[in-house]
Amino acid sequence: MTRWAVPFSGAILNWRLKRGKEDTERVNERKGIASIARPEGALIWIHGASVGEVISMQPLVEYIRKQGFTVLMTSGTVTAAQTVAQRMPAGTLHQYIPLDAPQFLQSFLDHWQPGLALIAESEFWPNLLLETSNRSIPIVLVNGRLSQRSFSRWKYVKNNAAALLSAFDLCLAQDRDVAERLQQLGAPRVLTTGNLKFDVPPPPADAADMQEMIRTVHGRPVFLAASTHRGEDEDIVDAHIEVMQKVPDLLTIIVPRHPERGGEIAELVQDYQLVPAMRSRNHLPDRGTNIYVADTLGELGLFYRLAPIVFMGGSLIKHGGQNPIEPAKLDNAILHGPYVHSFTSIYSELNRRHAAATVTDAQSLAASLLRLLDDPALVRSMAEAAHATVIPLSGAVDRTAKALEPYLVQLRFGR
């Protein structure tokens, strides 16, 4: 958003408010107007666009808080804000990131005056970077990610990419491929520190809720479709119907990536003449429930522990897939679609080690699910391989902390 677009910001925000994409009580934060006071002392600003980026920052936030610094986290979605409240250490502040207009960023920076800005993954907003850099605030890209697809697009505007990346004092890349892409686009200083998502602890599960679900399911075979996107639910329901012919008591749990889609998924299930139940309405799946729509936030840890077989959403459509590290840590056998370009390396390794399998449509999903339901030993083998794949890949938070130490030293001494 440039200066000329600022007059339209109200219309943009109203449009988003009507669709539940903004927080009604905190919408002014999107214009750089803070809703809370700035505490005294050095403050480190960490920005993660949505839930995935916010979760990946958890171990880094914990490290920085232990060093005695105030952390301000910004995000662009309501669900990410709720995730900050649920999973970040006590004392972590949160604000919504301003729309990318100079005057909004100036207001934001005037109030918060961060001593260091850490930008997660691939948030290359021009005004955010320019306004922050103009104030001589060091900017570090952490857990840097740049897919081959994005790299190919950036190459057509290489001068623009170089101008944006020059705002970063340092880029910390998830792997060597990302580091090479950033360097080719003109990033001045790049280090490979690994993927912080491997250091994130598995999502929690409430013990009482877990026991309640175990009692409710009562020995039924359970299949989880996690973080699904619009365009995938039909295939999941079709696969459920096919599997039901041989496993009539199958319970499929669908956890939509965006919980507000719960109602439309329940309607879809009814259109197929199946019986849904919705967690957002405090329903539990009884013996007559075919598909349980878990349209709540922060409960994936519960359902990963309940279901031994998981399909990772965002992969049957050209979204790029969802992060498989959490179910791998929780010993799930993993299925996924062909479109996993956002997590290419980890899915490739999981597939290579027979910890995950690719499906392409409802028929292949049903076939894979039937095979796994019929072979508990194969499920255990895949789950063990998944766990063994991801556990040795941790350590990125230590390497990231080491790279950030010079900046933290400067902040400690007020420079």
3-state secondary structure labels for all residues of 134-186: HCCCCEEEEEECCCHHHHHHHHCCHHHHHHHHCCCCEEEECCHHHHHHHHHCC
Which of 370, 118, 357 minimizes the C-alpha distance to 242? Answer: 370
Token pair listed for 344? 């290419």
Asked if residues 370 and 243 have their Cβ atoms less than 8 Å apart, the reply is: yes
Q: For residue 161, how many C-alpha atoms fall within 13 Å in the half-sphere facing its CB?
A: 18
Q: Which of 22, 25, 29, 53 is catalytic?
A: 53
For the CA atoms of 337, 49, 161, 398, what is the dihedral angle to 10 degrees? -90
Annotated active-site residue 53? The verdict is yes
For the CA atoms of 55, 60, 66, 67, what is the dihedral angle to 10 degrees? -150
- Transcribe 268-333 into DSSP letters: HHHHTT--EEEGGGT----TT-SEEE---SS-HHHHHHH-SEEEESSSSSTT-----HHHHHTT-E
Burial call 326-356: b when 16+ CB within 10 Å, e when fewer: bbbbbbbbbbbbeebbbbbebbebbbeeebb
Q: What is the distance between the terminal CA atoms of the chain, rounded to a whole angstrom?
A: 32
Torsion sign (Cα): 367, 368, 373, 377: positive
Q: Hey, which residues are catalytic here?
A: 53
